[in-house]
Amino acid sequence: MTALLRRTVDLFAMLAGVILLIIVLVTVTNTGAFILDRIAGFFGANVAGLPGYEDFVQLAISGAALMFFPFCQANRGHVAVELFMQQLPKSVQTAADKAWLTLTALVGAFLVYWMVFGMMEARDDGAVTAVLGWPVWPFYAPGIVAMALWALVAVAQLFGDLSDA
């Protein structure tokens, strides 16, 4: 795998981690507002939660979750049946690995293709979030890039050293 692709995958995973951290901070803030609202209720007051909290979390997690796929693939962190595969001859292990890498690359490309159409449809339909009214289509972009990176990592592994991590 090339160093540039590796750095891009690492950067993408770090960005996804930052997004998850922001989601956690927003969730903690919203939970704190809920608790403060319960306490304030005893005094006849109220504390509002964050408007559109659910909209933000839904959009942010939809991209962040997919942004970890390339990193996972690059580190061979996917599910594998090691106990079974270790008993097979090396040639069978290599053939199975190449078959799964090919399938992974095809699935990533398939998802990119259909996610682009989904993004264009969301844009053309003017789909917006329920509370904040944010357009939904831009939030497809991180997922599309992530799926393309996932496919690229699988292709790099397919044509490179199968043991690279």
Q: Give the Å distances, CA to CA, from 76 to 53, 73, 101, 109.
A: 34, 5, 11, 19
148, part of any domain: yes
72, part of any domain: yes
Residue closest to 144 by CA, chosen among 63, 55, 57? 63
- pLDDT for 105-124, tens place per residue? 999 999 999 999 999 999 99
- pLDDT for 77-93, tens place per residue? 766 666 677 888 999 98
Q: Roughly how many angstroms between the first and final C-alpha of the chain, as a whole number?
A: 8
The single residue listed with the structure tokens 């969730």 is 27
Domain that holds residue 93: 3-159
164, part of any domain: no
The single residue listed with the structure tokens 């901070």 is 25
165, part of any domain: no
This prediction has a pTM of 0.86
18, part of any domain: yes
Encoding tokens for residue 35?
Answer: 């608790």
Residue closest to 153 by CA, chosen among 100, 115, 117, 83? 100
Residue 3's φ and ψ, nearest 5 degrees, are -65, -35
d(CA 110, CA 74): 19
Number of compact structural domains in the chain: 1
56, part of any domain: yes
- Per-residue confidence at 165, pLDDT binned at 50, 70, 90? very low
